[in-house]
Structure 1
Amino acid sequence: MRKVNYRKDKYGNDLSILGYGCMRFSRTGGKVDIDKAEQEILAAFRGGVNYYDTAYVYPGSEAALGEILERNHIRDQVAIATKLPHYLIKTADSMEKYFREQLRRLRTDYVDYYLMHMLTDVETWERLKSLGIVEWLEQKKKSGEIRQAGFSYHGNSDTFCRLVDEYSWDFCQIQYNYMDENTQAGRRGLQYAAAKGLPVIIMEPLRGGKLVNNLPGEAKTLFETYPVKRTPADWAFRWLWNQEEVTCVLSGMNSLEMVEENVKTASEAFVGELGTEEEEMLQKVVQAINAKMKVGCTGCGYCMPCPRNVDIPGTFASYNRRYSEGKFAALMEHFMCTALRRTSTAAANCVECGKCEQHCPQHIEIRKELKNARRQLEGPMYKIGRKIVSLFRLY
């Protein structure tokens, strides 16, 4: 098997450009299929993959990864990335409690890359600071129990850039792919973090497989008829690795075939590989996927900031996704990006002041379309979810 290429982290360590996302281990009888996961992890390891990403709340994932690394004696040859469930933190002691449990699950005495899981806004970070998170992280880094500290993020680029500046982070993790170039943290967030010296880890490079399995016919035809023959997954990964600001791309690999294909791509891809023609073809793919979009929003952000804190581009991105990728995907993204924040960014906040429409280059009837988006995205289930979040909110 070929070996993947590498890029450097903040301190000059080699990170494989392909990372192993451990959230999607295959399961049997409600438990991780440990033997199958072991075969796949070892295949990735032999292919040079040295970054393995898990989290406290991924059922069985940390324990499975820890067992596999221990019984194959490769713990010290790979980097473990896992995440603090800060949304469960009530006191300063809680940080230590969850961290100790994670070390036991992972069968290790240190974590290479430790993230604040789904850090949603600056207010959340301020709450953690009030509980002593900065001092706790610094103490853990000094002792070597945490080698590097970062955060993962879903949301708009403005808030992401603010979070980047809130602490001397060692790295960060964002959702990014050729469909999210101008939504979520987006290219702006990617470049902002990289300019600050932060390695950027990419999650959802295939949007949960939808950029492979749910492509419309026109998009499939564009790939199939292009002179250079590559799979849709291959194109999506190469688009990311074409950008020097991308350090490592996570893939939730749960078959040996997937591991082998991704390792092969990661052994060949390099910055600047895609030229103007390839980029134009991928833009046509985006247009084909978005053919059913309801709102012609480009995610430029000229309508922001909203006086009522509505995430207008994010709401329209989820609304369009409702018709291109399905209801569940759209509802999940909208909920993560609006309802999990300390201050809601939901469409329901709109008071129809019209300020946004004065600045929209696309001349979108934003107030009207927000009402339509609200009807599709913020129904009874969304409201129930908001109530549940408020019950468990610790601040």
Structure 2
Amino acid sequence: MERRAQKKLGAEPSLLGFGCMRFPTLEGGAIDEEQAMAMLDRAYQSGVNYFDTAYFYHNGKSEAFMGRALARYPRESYYLTSKLPTTLIHSLEDAKRIYAEQRERLQKDYLDFYLLHNLNGARWHEMVDTGVVDWCLERQTAGDFRHFGFSFHGSYEEFREILTARSWDCCQIQLNYMDTEEQAGLQGYRLTEELGVPLIIMEPVKGGALAAPPADVMEVFTALHPQASASSWALRWVASLPNVMTVLSGMSTMGQVEDNLATFNAFQPLSEAERAAVEQAATLFRQKVRNGCTGCRYCMPCPAGVDIPGTFRLWNDWAMYQNRERSRFKWKDMDDDKRPQNCVGCGACEEKCPQSLPIRADLVRAKEELEGL
């Protein structure tokens, strides 16, 4: 298993990390512990030693499950990460209460990494103002956890503010070959490299969207490596970045475990020809957008407080990735009273954005197609 020694941290985590938010589940939604244990065992026995969980994962059940699962391995043989759910933290008392609950779930004397979960600029300021950051540093000094970092969802400007605010042990960002300019993006990656902050990558396969690409995209990959999976290309792209410490994969089946092990047990950075193939694949994906957008968002405001894109973006997402399960999940997961309004032909977007003339009919078709999946 490929490992990247972190002299700054005195740690040597596996380049493939096991993300613990997508375990197989039983009919009622509970973790299928028998299958999940077998998957963890296979990964661990093959050299995976980094496990990433969080307070919210699997409706709050992931931490307790991982506490039991990892108890079967020598404590010094793996790295365990969990995260403080900043969306629930509005006071120091909130942080202390939830942290105590996490420790009870995990049943570990210490954590290797502890992250402020899902930071953006506003949440960062709240964590500072309420004293949560200073308190976390006290817990680190006390030995509750060895390394302190954050996971991030926000703009690059917010990322830069947080990353440069103090000396971090690590940070975790979303990055894949289609999202190079989203959130922190490659610009954020370069900043971590400049500051020497080891990087943990989440969503390297874009929530599964890059795992089963349309045929013309897949042909670009198979032309070079007929047997390699689309996921392996996405994982190798991000793992080829030298400041990446660990790439997280939320594995749901033993087949995914085996495929990822094949990629990382004989890891090879992308060659020039392979990088060109990934760029070609990204171009093909982007050419599948149904309607161009100038970014005015007038026709598709997102519901307040809901991190799900509006109808128009869903339609383009479906067109690009042609992933029925992913699109259906995004659409059906919205509560009826929180869904963005579908186009009724009011014409407002045409006044705001003349390029949007074809959008109205497509939005109606999007609603019909997505609801019919």
Instruction: State the TM-score, normalizing by the size of structure 1.
Output: 0.74
Q: How far is 1:219 from its partner? A: 0.5
Q: Which residue of 2 aligns with 1:41?
A: 40
CA distance in 2, matches of 1:227, 1:73: 36
Q: Which residue of 2 aligns with 1:288?
A: 284
Is 1:158 aligned with 2:157?
A: yes
Q: Which residue of 1 aligns with 2:228?
A: 230
Give per-residue Cα distances to partners, 1:341-368, cap 9 Å, x unaligned. xxxxxxxxxxxxxxxxxxxxxxxxx955
CA distance in 2, matches of 1:318, 1:195: 35
CA distance in 2, matches of 1:26, 1:331: 16
Pairing of 1:53-64 with structure 2 (within 5 A): 53-58=52-57, 59=59, 60-64=61-65
Q: Which residue of 1 aligns with 2:219?
A: 221
Of 252, 255, 264 in structure 2, the residue corresponding to residue 254 of structure 1 is 252
Q: Which residue of 2 aligns with 1:79?
A: 79
Whichever residue aligns with residue 69 of structure 2, its letter is I
Distance 1:166 1:368, change over 3 A: farther
8 Å CA contact 2:18, 2:249 repeated in 1: yes
Whichever residue aligns with residue 113 of structure 1, its letter is F
Distance 1:331 1:32, change over 3 A: closer
Is 1:98 aligned with 2:94?
A: no
8 Å CA contact 2:67, 2:105 repeated in 1: yes
CA distance in 1, matches of 2:140, 2:218: 47
Distance 1:129 1:155, change over 3 A: closer
Q: Which residue of 2 aligns with 1:390?
A: none
Q: Which residue of 1 aligns with 2:348?
A: none
CA distance in 2, matches of 1:95, 1:156: 25
CA distance in 2, matches of 1:329, 1:152: 25
CA distance in 2, matches of 1:330, 1:158: 32
8 Å CA contact 2:170, 2:197 repeated in 1: yes
8 Å CA contact 1:56, 1:102 repeated in 2: yes
Q: Equivalent residue of 2:171, what SS?
A: strand
Q: Equivalent residue of 1:117, what SS?
A: strand
Q: Equivalent residue of 2:21, what SS?
A: helix
8 Å CA contact 2:53, 2:62 repeated in 1: yes
Structure 2 residues without counterparts, runs of 5 or longer: 296-308, 334-351, 364-373
Distance 1:368 1:54, change over 3 A: farther
Q: Equivalent residue of 2:207, what SS?
A: coil
Q: How far is 1:331 from its partner? A: 10
Of 4, 7, 12 in structure 2, the residue corresponding to residue 6 of structure 1 is 4
Q: Equivalent residue of 2:168, what SS?
A: coil
Q: How far is 1:36 from its partner? A: 1.3
Q: Which has the higher contact order (CA 8 A, sep 6+)?
A: 1
What is the alpha-carbon root mean square deviation over aligned residues? 3.2
Q: How far is 1:276 from its partner? A: 2.3
Distance 1:14 1:297, change over 3 A: farther
Q: Equivalent residue of 1:293, what SS?
A: coil
Q: Which residue of 1 aligns with 2:205?
A: 206
Q: How far is 1:113 from its partner? A: 0.9
8 Å CA contact 2:318, 2:327 repeated in 1: yes
Distance 1:370 1:329, change over 3 A: farther
Q: Equivalent residue of 1:220, what SS?
A: helix
Give per-residue Cα distances to partners, 1:357-394, cap 9 Å, x unaligned. xxxxxxxxx95569969x97xxxxxxxxxxxxxxxxxx
Distance 1:15 1:318, change over 3 A: farther
Q: How far is 1:7 from its partner? A: 3.9
Whichever residue aligns with residue 268 of structure 1, its letter is A
CA distance in 1, matches of 2:9, 2:294: 36
Is 1:323 aligned with 2:314?
A: no
Q: How far is 1:111 from its partner? A: 1.6
Whichever residue aligns with residue 16 of structure 1, its letter is S
Q: Which residue of 1 aligns with 2:69?
A: 68
Give per-residue Cα distances to partners, 1:75-101, cap 9 Å, x unaligned. 332111111011112321211111111
Q: Equivalent residue of 1:239, what SS?
A: helix
8 Å CA contact 2:293, 2:356 repeated in 1: no
Distance 1:42 1:222, change over 3 A: same
Worse-matched range after superposition: 248-257 or 50-59: 248-257
Pairing of 1:24-35 with structure 2 (within 5 A): 24-28=22-26, 29-35=28-34
Q: Which residue of 1 aligns with 2:194?
A: 195
Distance 1:268 1:369, change over 3 A: farther
Q: Equivalent residue of 2:206, what SS?
A: coil
Q: Equivalent residue of 1:284, what SS?
A: helix
8 Å CA contact 2:49, 2:79 repeated in 1: yes
8 Å CA contact 2:91, 2:132 repeated in 1: no
Is 1:132 aligned with 2:131?
A: yes
Of 271, 286, 299 in structure 2, the residue corresponding to residue 275 of structure 1 is 271
8 Å CA contact 1:10, 1:171 repeated in 2: no
CA distance in 2, matches of 1:128, 1:103: 20
CA distance in 2, matches of 1:368, 1:95: 49
Q: Equivalent residue of 2:183, what SS?
A: coil
Count how many residue pairs are aligned between Structure 1 and Structure 2.
326
Distance 1:163 1:319, change over 3 A: farther
Q: Equivalent residue of 1:177, what SS?
A: coil
CA distance in 1, matches of 2:130, 2:330: 29
CA distance in 2, matches of 1:329, 1:190: 28
Distance 1:264 1:108, change over 3 A: same
Distance 1:49 1:233, change over 3 A: same
Structure 1 residues without counterparts, runs of 5 or longer: 300-313, 336-365, 377-395
Distance 1:167 1:155, change over 3 A: same
